[in-house]
Chains A and B, each alone.
Chain A
Amino acid sequence: MNDGITMTTRRDVLTGLGSALLATWAIAPRAEAAQQATAQTTPPTLKVTGDVRTPLTLSPDELKAMPRAKVEVKDEDGRLVSYEGVLVGEILKRAGAALGGELRGNTVATYVVASASDGYQVVFSLAELDPAFTGSQIIVADMIDGKPLFAYQGPLRIVAPNDTRPARSIRMLERLDVVRVKK
């Protein structure tokens, strides 16, 4: 419900040029409005909790200071749109999640619940968020085409550029909860 209708995916000519399968982003309100509308209930932070060594509460400025990454997806008219932010794997690494060499054995059975301020939730396996494991390009974005996210997308959203459907590119992201299935 969070994303399903406003974004659609499709294969197109760019896949033939070597681009990954790209999501399509349609209309979305401005981030400033989202912040105004939800300011009383949603602090503009990203919490990282659960089975991590160092639970985090990241401010927008702290995200800006982390290693930045860009991904390109397609908008409704087929134009490339650039999202900028931080690899989710980078954020999880800072929180001390079991990534890289630690992601083995029972630890592979770990997943991450991403939650939005409107209650929408999606799940990724930890492995698919680890660039060392899957080459993940999944980011927490705070910018679109060099500007703050469109409103209800923000202030933060996940962009999963290789998903063939956009429903996991969760808007209004506020929490990542790491859950290990087998202790």
Chain B
Amino acid sequence: MRVCLAALVGFALASFNIDRVPAQSIHAWTLPAGFPAPDVPADNPITEAKADLGRHLFYDTRLSGNGTQSCATCHEQSRAFTDGRARSVGSTGQLHTRGSMSLVNVVYAQGLTWANPSLTRLEVQALIPMYGDHPVELGLNRSDRWIDVIAKDATYERLFAAAFGTAPHPFTRDRVVQAIATFERTIVSARSPYDHYHFERDDAAISDAAKRGEVLFHSRPLACFTCHGGVHFSGSMGSARRPAPVVLHNTGLYNLPGLLSYPSSDAGLYDVTHESADVGKFKAPTLRNIAVTAPYMHDGSVATLEEAIDHYAAGGRTITTGPYQGVGHDNPNKSPAINGFSLTREQRADLVAFLNSLTDEAVLRDPRFENPWTRQSRP
């Protein structure tokens, strides 16, 4: 019997490439035909047990120093895992310089956060909101006493054992971030009306206006796809078979006089490289679910989709009063893709209709991504 079991396990392991995505996770995601298989680190393969543990941690306010916030505070499922704020607020009340980014399809992201190409692993990125001081987000104490607290929770005893086995000390920081990263990797948005239209060729799935908007999106002079390209309508996304370079863009959102053309509180890639050519360069985030992730841009300074289109139509934003006064169109680092364009009222409506067709109600309500604690005792 033991021999038979071993043979079965061996066959199961041989039936999929363990260095890529375990078969069960592919099944769980139900990617549409034509949707690329994501890359997953070989040292943290996806399992349902690990994703379930990660979901509990993601929604647990014990993962903040003062017990007021969890990851989900700034990443709400109903808002495609953003928070609806222009700029997020940490557990101690600190107003951040940036808005929270959507987590959908983050498994494909080649560079994480708004402007840090060197940050490529979710396991590493998770440590920043957990322990970071600039800004304070969750504000966890680095002594990790909080881990001792959750280790006494029977739910976590069960979940950690299911995810990592019954090792003598299963409760570690590494395993926490592995589990959170695993949960985040399972949040794939691929069931929007647009997906039904494009991948299933269901012509009734989106309106004629959205179809016209789709063509505008992919044509000159708009050429939105130049930065928001591929199946994720995003920059810097790759797949298991095709890694992609991280490319960041200055879109002419600001043009201040002096050495820094962007507000000194957040100059984008420049804050990492200190190269003047990198001032104002940020990620082109996914446009999937863009209708529910307002306000827009890294600092939430654009309130609506229509206002975002105005910004690109003008080839950069002009601010006429206040400390950020300037003509973004003339920013010296502005991407050559931001040239401006004009749209009729109907074309503008078509473009918005197309962007609205990217809203994936299934992912916004998927019970696999909901707060698991609502039906239990904590928190």
Which residue of A has the minimal Cβ distance to B219?
A: A118
Q: How distant is the Cα of A27 from the Cα of B239 in the complex, in angstroms?
A: 14
Per-residue CB contact flags for chain A residues 91-115 toward chain B (1 = under 8 Å, else 0) read 0000000000000000000000000
Cβ contact within 8 Å between A32 and B208: no
Residues on A with C-beta less than 8 A from B227 are 5
Distance between B264 CB and nearest chain A CB, rounded to angstroms: 31
A33→B209 CA distance, assembly (Å): 10
One digit per residue, 1 when the CB lies within 8 angstroms of any chain B CB and 0 when it does not, for chain A 117-157 equals: 11110000000000000000000000000010011100000
Q: Tell whether B256 is near chain A: CB-to-CB under 8 Å.
A: no
**Once the chains bind, are A32 and B215 in contact (CB under 8 Å)?**
no
Of A2, A24, A33, A38, the residue contacting B220 (CB under 8 A) is A2
18 new A-B contacts, CB < 8 A, other than A76-B36, A151-B214, are A2-B223, A4-B226, A6-B229, A8-B242, A27-B229, A29-B198, A33-B211, A33-B214, A33-B215, A37-B212, A75-B34, A76-B242, A77-B239, A78-B242, A118-B220, A119-B220, A119-B221, A151-B211
On whether the beta carbons of A152 and B230 are closer than 8 Å, the reply is no
Interface of A is mostly: loop
Q: Give the chain B neighbours of A37 by CB distance below 8 A.
A: 211-212, 215-216, 350
User: Using Cβ atoms and an 8 Å threshold, which residues of chain B touch A8?
Assistant: 242, 244
Q: Could you name 21 residue pairs across A and B whose Cβ atoms are closer than 8 Å?
A: A1-B223, A1-B226, A5-B225, A24-B242, A29-B214, A30-B197, A30-B214, A32-B203, A37-B212, A76-B230, A76-B242, A77-B36, A77-B37, A78-B241, A79-B34, A118-B219, A119-B221, A151-B214, A151-B215, A152-B215, A172-B219
User: From residue A57, how far is it (CB to closest CB) to chain B in Å?
Assistant: 22
In order of increasing CB-CB distance, the 4 nearest A-B pairs are A5-B229, A33-B211, A152-B218, A78-B241
In the complex, whether A34 has a CB less than 8 A from a CB of chain B is: yes
Contact B229 A26 (CB under 8 A): yes
Q: How many A-B residue pairs have CB under 8 A?
A: 95
Q: Which residue in chain B gives the minimum CB-CB distance to A26?
A: B230
- In the complex, whether A20 has a CB less than 8 A from a CB of chain B is no
| A30:B242 contact, CB within 8 angstroms | no
Q: A24-B242, A77-B34 are in contact. Are A30 and B211 (CB under 8 A)?
A: yes
Q: What A residues does B218 contact at CB under 8 A?
A: 6, 28-29, 151-152, 171
A1-56 with Cβ < 8 A to chain B: 1-2, 4-6, 8, 10, 12, 24, 26-30, 32-34, 36-38
The docked-state distance in angstroms from the alpha carbon of A24 to that of B241 is 11
CA distance A147 to B198 in the complex (A): 13
A2 contact set on B, CB distance < 8 A: 220, 223
Once bound together, how far apart are the Cα atoms of A132 and B17, in whole Å?
44
The listed residue (B208, B240, B244, B337) touching A36 by CB distance below 8 A is B208
Nearest A residue to B37, CB-CB: A77
B231 located at the interface, meaning its Cβ lies under 8 Å from any Cβ of chain A in the complex: yes
Q: Which A residues touch B230, using CB under 8 A?
A: 5-6, 26-27, 76
Tell me how far the C-beta of A41 lies from the nearest C-beta in chain B, rounded to whole angstroms. Answer: 11
A30-B198 CB under 8 A given contacts A5-B225, A12-B241, A151-B211? yes
Q: Chain B interface: which size bin?
A: 20 to 34
Cβ contacts under 8 Å, B242 to chain A: 8, 10, 24, 76-78
Query: Which residues from A are CB-within-8-Å of B216?
Result: 37
Chain A positions near chain B (C-beta within 8 angstroms): 1-2, 4-6, 8, 10, 12, 24, 26-30, 32-34, 36-38, 75-79, 117-120, 147, 150-152, 171-172
B36 to chain A, nearest CB (A): 4
Q: Which residue in chain B gives the minimum CB-CB distance to A117?
A: B219
Kindly identify which residue among B201, B219, B231 contacts A76, using a CB–CB cutoff of 8 Å: B231
- B38 shortest CB reach to chain A, Å: 10
Please give, as numbers and ranges, the residues of chain B lying within 8 Å of A117 by CB-CB distance.
219
Neighbouring B residues of A33 by C-beta, 8 Å: 211-212, 214-215
In the bound assembly, the distance between CA atoms of A118 and B231 in angstroms comes to 22
Bound CA–CA A123/B219 (angstroms): 19
Asked if B231 and A26 make an inter-chain contact with CB atoms under 8 angstroms apart, the answer reads yes
Query: Cβ of B225: which chain A residues have Cβ within 8 Å of it?
Result: 5-6
Q: How many angstroms between the C-alpha atoms of A76 and B36 in the bound complex?
A: 6
Distance, CA A171 to CA B219, complexed state (A): 9
A133 to chain B, nearest CB (A): 32
Assess the A36–B212 pair: CB atoms within 8 A: yes
| Any A CB within 8 A of the CB of B16 | no
Contact check, B215 vs A34: say whether CB atoms are below 8 A apart: yes
CA distance in complex: A33, B53 (Å)? 44
Residues on the B chain within 8 Å of A38, using CB: 215
Contacts of A1 in B (CB 8 A): 220, 223, 226, 337
- Closest residue of B by beta carbon distance from A12: B241
Q: B240 contacts which chain A residues (CB < 8 A)?
A: 77
Q: How far is the CB of A103 from chain B (nearest CB, A)?
A: 32
Q: Complex formed: what's the CA distance from A28 to B199 in Å?
A: 10
